[in-house]
Amino acid sequence: AQTVTQSQPEMSVQEAETVTLSCTYDTSENNYYLFWYKQPPSRQMILVIRQEAYKQQNATENRFSVNFQKAAKSFSLKISDSQLGDTAMYFCAFEEFRTSGSRLTFGEGTQLTVNP
């Protein structure tokens, strides 16, 4: 079974600064997807960024980028130029490569607070 671990329950950063959230995972699969989801106080889960395991290039979405280290099974999220609206719970998630359905495995979450 796959497991996802986020070792930082809480983090804080000053507005406009950069912060990195850590995530490690364990799997015997070779093909899979990794995700970072954001859950603001509204509880609406929002996809931030996605990484395919077969791609060596790290994914980037505007101010959000990842550092994917497949051999180390590490998948960190870097948020640049942090904004107050980035305050949320961030979940790292894993999904194995499959053509018959979806099933996400989530980490425990990291509560990020952006301070003015």
Partner 1 sequence: KAGVTQTPRYLIKTRGQQVTLSCSPISGHRSVSWYQQTPGQGLQFLFEYFSETQRNKGNFPGRFSGRQFSNSRSEMNVSTLELGDSALYLCASSFFTAGSSYNEQFFGPGTRLTVL
Residues engaged in binding partner 1 (CB under 8 A) = 31, 33, 42-47, 50, 52, 91, 95, 97-109
- Give me the least distance between CB of 109 and partner 1, in Å please: 7
CB 108 to partner 1: min, Å: 5
Complete DSSP assignment for 10-65 = EEEEETT--EEE--EEE-S-SSEEEEEEEE-TT---EEEEEEETT--SPPEETTEE
Residue whose CB is less far from partner 1, 80 or 95: 95
Nearer to partner 1, 11 or 104 (CB): 104
Distance in Å, CB of 43 to partner 1, minimum? 5
Nearest residue (CB) to partner 1, 28 versus 99: 99
d(CA 93, CA 53): 13
Closest by CA position to 67, among listed 110, 8, 24: 24
Report, in Å, the least distance between residue 18 CB and partner 1.
26
Nearer to partner 1, 44 or 56 (CB): 44
Q: What is the dihedral of CA 70, 63, 93, 115, to 10 degrees?
A: 120
